[in-house]
Amino acid sequence: MSTQEISLEELRQRQSRFRGLEAGHRACLGCGQALAARWVLEAAGPDVVVANATGCLEVFTTPWPESAWRVPWLHSLFENTGAVAAGLEAALKVQGKTAKALAFAGDGGTFDIGFQALSGLLEREHDVLYVCYDNEGYMNTGVQRSGSTPHAAATTTSPAGRARLGKRHLKKDILAIIASHHIAYAATASIAYPEDLKRKVRQALLITGPTFLHLHAPCPLGWGHDGSLSVEVARLAVQTGLFPLIEMERGQVIGVMPLRTIRPVADYLKLQGRFGHLFRDDPRAREELEHLQALADHNIEVFNLRADRPDPADSEGADTVRRGRRRF
Amino acid sequence: MILTRGAYALPGTSLAYKTGTWRLQRPVHRHRAAPCHAACPAGEDAQAWLARLDEGDSQGAWESLVSANPLPAITGRVCHHPCERACNRGQFDQPIAIHAVERFLGDQALANDWPYPVSPPSPAAPEVAVVGAGPAGLSCAYHLLRLGYKARVFDALPEAGGTLRTALPPYRLPRGVLEAEIGRLLNLGIGFEPGVRLGRDVYLDDLRRQYPAVFLALGATRPRPWDVAGVVPAELHQGLELLKEWVSVGELPKADSVAVVGGGNTSVDIARVMRRIGVPEVHLITHRALPHPEVPEDDWMPAIPREVEQAQEEGVVFHPHTGVRRLVLRGQQLLGIELVKMKKLVQPDGSLKRVPFEGTEKVLRIEQVIPAIGEMVDPSGLESLLGCQEFLLVDAWGRVAGISGVFAGGDMRFGAGMVSIAIGDGRRAALAIAAYLQGKEPEAEPVKTIAYEQLNVNYYDHAPRAEPTLLPVAQRVGFAEVEGGLDTAQAAAEAARCFSCGSCLSCDNCWNLCPEPAVLKLPDEIPGQVRYVFDYDYCKGCGLCARECPCGFIVMEDEA
């Protein structure tokens, strides 16, 4: 069948995958979060209900009177996504429905503003998959720093200037906090490894009880890179060791994606405007660069990211290409 | 459905808003030639036939291959395969073993008698005369047939094949393969007149009168004369003559020690033949360097690198960057040759000159010296065309300057000297002849290649190259073929290793990685058809698909 025999509208209805998030949304060019949200729903399937915190994802998908969602979806407040998702789950349970409750929030809604609701959700053991789309700042309101913004990144509230070179503090170790809630499953994933990401969503949905996914999703606008580079930037975050892909059960690390090639952090940083000041001819810039390299090396050591052993899940190999999507 | 108070919207209604209006650049599918295609002297698109093989269609792969080169079982064995040096995969791990897969497909066609995708010419079609039944002549005749013309091939020898038959040692090209492939080709309806020599049985002027066009492909069959400061030893035999004798008889008189002079394929072949007939000490003297990645390629000896390697395994002693300064004679008897180290160096006036280094002279005691410093065209029957030149001067289409309707190619023209070049010459000349007979200019074939940097190699896995097995040195006697072939699984694995540079791999990357999504996938896989369409109503032009396409098949174009 060719495009002569079928209209694009009809073809769109006949795509061989679940379309939870439809085109026509207002995300920026090359938005990492739009990609990530589509894949989460692709893996989670139609039988879900979503509570979505305030943020880019909420704004760009639902310009009234339109919606880009094809699943039941509810906008919560910035601070209470965890509580709303818990309520959704309780309501579904009372009605005897099998739909799974999902909570979507950005890093602001997770690390900072919605944190107590999230902690309560985990502590009360609601059957909810909480997905944090981490673009490392308050991008929707104009690129302010968040608890997730990495050290030395410039934002409008942590600018690079004479006094400081970007954010003074470190990126909050959210997964360690989640781990101390002793939940059954928590994992990190990146838009550069879609097969790995979808596998982790499916893995989380197998579990009854609270689960947590931390998805690294570059923001071309806030990070200062071209939209076409979103996947490349996300891939480099993983390959440098700055964003390790790991899985945890009951707070223990049970799997990491070993890195076949470990790249220097400068490869990742120099693509992004928010780290541009680190490449000035300035001793402090060189120091910050070394600091970020040390943070990456620390991750590589702590999580044992060197690919000196076989990877049972073959996370990196899962996204290599074959003609006609064949797998070996 | 009861909707409570507050804002709501129906699912998927965002489709009403066409985000395509934001777009400044649009992604388009654009095929670009893989470097192997551009590098193939015969004009094969290896990427295209590897793709057919990867789809599981080996006969389709062979048909695609023979649309350019009708002799894959032969070239798969003897070609110098510049395609593999151009292969983008060489910058990732190792290049695809293109020659070995080509040979596999050629051998499959012979074993299964796959018919050439050519229909017999109509009796009324114009007939073109082809002089010389070597690779250039046969290729030209075959492509004339494909273009709807008849071809009549004349050759001085009783059998077709030219240099492939007379001078290519059977340990590189077994005679059974040669007979089978050329026999199948001639059976397509090519007229063949053996035993007709130009300048003795037929003249160029007669051919020009009888046929609307003539293609000359007589090869370079005369060894270039050799002497050292005007001196030659008594009983001098040229490498080419000895090689031809061994190929037809299988035996040669042997000395105890031999030096072959020259760095081309003939000299390496005769050196290896000398080892095969049992000469214990065989030297090869060349002005140039041994082929090595760290040496600039223009200094490499012209012989095929893998043949040089095999000759070394067989015990031929190479003397690179060396020249013969003097023959050491006692009366008529040769005692040895005086060698001197030399190198091509840039002179103060900018020219390149071979400079012998004083103080590096040494005498090599040998019984026989065999020159093989190249071949030139046998001028008989061509005196008026050649004048005092060693080769014919032709343009890129094989048109001989000054006489209309006469075309030439293969070893006759300057700069050829390889089987695949001859095959490409024959193909281009056939296109030029067809254009000439229609009163048109031949159309140039623009080949814009795709570089390694334009691929996204993050999506490829490392995989080792399938290496054909080599006969152990102890078993390399007589006509036994040295290099083995690939089995079906190895050939399929090589096809799967192909990066598919510049052509869609149907890998789903664009479909998966579009944030809108504005890339749609057609329901059925149709070979040769791209499976993805851009929905420009929603594509914002971010360029992610182009950036993440492993094959470089998507490019961004400015919106008008």
DSSP string of A272-317, one letter each residue:
-GGGGGGGSS-HHHHHHHHHHHHHHHHHHHHTT-B--S--TT-TTG
Who among B51, B529, B547 is closest to A2 (CB)? B529
Who among B54, B541, B543 is closest to A323 (CB)? B54
What residues pair up with A73 in beta bridges, in sequence order? A50
- Token pair 């308050």 is found at A138
The percentage of residues in chain B with a pLDDT greater than 70, rounded to a whole number, is 99
Cβ B543–A227 below 8 Å, yes or no? yes
The percentage of residues in chain A with a pLDDT greater than 70, rounded to a whole number, is 94
* Omega before B517 within 30 of 0, i.e. cis: yes
Cβ B17–A63 below 8 Å, yes or no? yes
Which residues numbered 220-279 in B keep a CB inside 8 Å of some CB on A? none
Measure the CA angle with vertex A117, ends A98 and A251; round to 5°: 80
CB contact B20 to A (< 8 Å) = no
Query: Which two tokens mark B140?
Result: 């030209």
The per-residue pLDDT for B9 is 86
The per-residue pLDDT for B448 is 84
Cβ A30–B520 below 8 Å, yes or no? no
- The C-alpha of B177 sits at a distance from chain A's nearest C-alpha, in angstroms, of 33
- The C-alpha of B16 sits at a distance from chain A's nearest C-alpha, in angstroms, of 7
Who among A25, A67, A228 is closest to B547 (CB)? A228
CB contact B7 to A (< 8 Å) = yes
Who among A70, A194, A317 is closest to B512 (CB)? A194
Question: CA-CA distance, B515 to B541, in Å (whole number)?
Answer: 11
Q: Tell me if B141 sits within 8 A of B216, measured CB to CB.
A: no
What residues pair up with B240 in beta bridges, in sequence order? none
Q: What CATH number is associated with residue A83?
A: 3.40.50.970
Who among A34, A67, A228 is closest to B11 (CB)? A67
Structurally, chain A folds into a number of domains equal to 1
The answer to whether position A321 is within a domain reads no
How does pLDDT run along chain B (560 residues), one tens digit per residue?
566 666 788 999 999 999 999 999 999 999 999 999 999 999 999 999 999 999 999 999 999 999 999 999 999 999 999 999 999 999 999 999 999 999 999 999 999 999 999 988 899 999 999 999 999 999 999 999 999 999 999 999 999 999 999 999 999 999 999 999 999 999 999 999 999 999 899 999 999 999 999 999 999 999 999 999 888 888 899 999 999 999 999 899 989 999 999 999 999 999 999 999 999 999 999 999 999 989 988 899 999 999 999 999 999 999 999 999 999 998 888 999 999 999 988 889 988 888 999 999 999 999 999 999 999 998 888 888 888 888 888 999 999 988 899 999 999 988 888 999 999 999 999 999 999 999 999 988 777 899 999 999 999 988 899 999 999 999 999 999 999 999 999 999 999 999 999 999 999 999 999 999 999 999 888 877 899 999 999 999 999 999 999 999 999 999 98
- The terminus-to-terminus CA distance of chain B in angstroms comes to 47
Its domain, for residue A146, covers 17-311
A126, burial (CB in 10 Å: exposed 0-12, middle 13-18, buried 19+):
buried
Residues of B in contact with A15 (CB under 8 A): 520-521
Interface test with A, best of B1, B3, B4, B14 (most A CBs within 10 A): B14
Say which DSSP state A243 is in: S
Q: Tell me if B503 sits within 8 A of B527, measured CB to CB.
A: no
How far, in Å, are A135, A151, A157, A167, A254 from residue A164 at the CA level? 22, 11, 12, 8, 38
Residues of B in contact with A235 (CB under 8 A): 458
The answer to whether position A11 is within a domain reads no
Would you say the C-alpha torsion A231, A232, A237, A241 has a positive or negative sign?
positive
CB contact B506 to A (< 8 Å) = yes
Residue of chain B whose Cα is closest to the Cα of A226: B542
Query: Which two tokens mark A179?
Result: 């781990």
Residue of chain A whose Cα is closest to the Cα of B493: A328
- The C-alpha of A314 sits at a distance from chain B's nearest C-alpha, in angstroms, of 11
Q: How many residues does chain A have?
A: 328
Query: Which two tokens mark B34?
Result: 């893989």
Query: Which two tokens mark B399?
Result: 């048109």
Instruction: Report H helices in A99-173.
Output: 107, 115-123
- The C-alpha of B495 sits at a distance from chain A's nearest C-alpha, in angstroms, of 10
Cβ A30–B7 below 8 Å, yes or no? no
Residues of A in contact with B19 (CB under 8 A): 23-26
Residues of A in contact with B541 (CB under 8 A): 29
Question: CA-CA distance, B148 to B130, in Å (whole number)?
Answer: 15
Question: CA-CA distance, B415 to A192, in Å (whole number)?
Answer: 49
Cβ A34–B538 below 8 Å, yes or no? no
- The C-alpha of A228 sits at a distance from chain B's nearest C-alpha, in angstroms, of 4
- The C-alpha of A218 sits at a distance from chain B's nearest C-alpha, in angstroms, of 12
* Omega before A65 within 30 of 0, i.e. cis: yes
Cβ A323–B506 below 8 Å, yes or no? yes
Residue of chain A whose Cα is closest to the Cα of B500: A323
Say which DSSP state B16 is in: G
Cβ A23–B505 below 8 Å, yes or no? no
The per-residue pLDDT for B526 is 82
The answer to whether position A268 is within a domain reads yes
The answer to whether position A10 is within a domain reads no
Which residues numbered 33-52 in B keep a CB inside 8 Å of some CB on A? 51
Residue of chain A whose Cα is closest to the Cα of B505: A323
Residue of chain B whose Cα is closest to the Cα of A236: B458
Residues of B in contact with A30 (CB under 8 A): 515, 542-544
The answer to whether position A232 is within a domain reads yes
Q: Tell me if A101 sits within 8 A of A74, measured CB to CB.
A: no
Which structural domains are found in chain B, ordered by start? 17-31+503-558 (3.30.70.20), 35-116+456-496 (1.10.1060.10), 127-221+377-437 (3.50.50.60), 223-374 (3.50.50.60)
Instruction: Map B382-448 to HEC letters.
Output: CHHHHCCCCCECECCCCEECCCCCEEECHHHECCCCCHHHHHHHHHHHHHHHHHHHCCCCCCCCCCC
Phi, psi for residue A221 in degrees, rounded to 5 = -70, -50
Cβ A62–B522 below 8 Å, yes or no? no
How does pLDDT run along chain A (328 residues), one tens digit per residue?
565 688 999 999 999 999 999 999 999 999 999 999 999 999 998 999 999 999 999 999 999 889 999 999 999 999 999 999 999 999 999 999 999 999 999 999 999 999 999 999 999 999 999 999 999 999 999 999 999 999 999 999 999 998 899 999 999 999 999 999 999 999 999 999 999 999 999 999 999 999 999 999 999 999 999 999 999 999 999 999 999 999 999 999 999 999 888 999 999 999 999 999 999 999 999 999 999 999 999 999 999 998 776 666 666 666 777 776 664 4
Residues of B in contact with A11 (CB under 8 A): 520, 522, 533
H or E element that contains B261: strand B257-261
Residues contacting residue B225 through CB under 8 Å, at least 6 positions apart: none
Q: Tell me if B548 sits within 8 A of B510, measured CB to CB.
A: yes
Cβ B15–A22 below 8 Å, yes or no? yes
ipTM of the prediction greater than 0.90, yes or no: yes
Who among A26, A67, A230 is closest to B544 (CB)? A230
Cβ B547–A70 below 8 Å, yes or no? no
- The C-alpha of B65 sits at a distance from chain A's nearest C-alpha, in angstroms, of 20
CB contact B124 to A (< 8 Å) = no
The per-residue pLDDT for B2 is 62
CB contact B518 to A (< 8 Å) = yes
Residues contacting residue A216 through CB under 8 Å, at least 6 positions apart: A32, A134, A188, A189, A190, A191, A234, A237, A238, A243
Who among B517, B524, B548 is closest to A23 (CB)? B517
Question: CA-CA distance, A85 to A29, in Å (whole number)?
Answer: 30
Residue of chain B whose Cα is closest to the Cα of A34: B515
The per-residue pLDDT for A328 is 41
- The terminus-to-terminus CA distance of chain A in angstroms comes to 27
The answer to whether position A212 is within a domain reads yes
The answer to whether position A241 is within a domain reads yes
Cβ B9–A62 below 8 Å, yes or no? yes
| Helices A194-205 and A32-44, packing angle to 10 deg | 40
What is the rounded average pLDDT for all residues in chain B? Answer: 93
Question: CA-CA distance, B271 to B316, in Å (whole number)?
Answer: 7
The answer to whether position A25 is within a domain reads yes
Question: CA-CA distance, B172 to B241, in Å (whole number)?
Answer: 18
Question: CA-CA distance, B150 to B152, in Å (whole number)?
Answer: 7
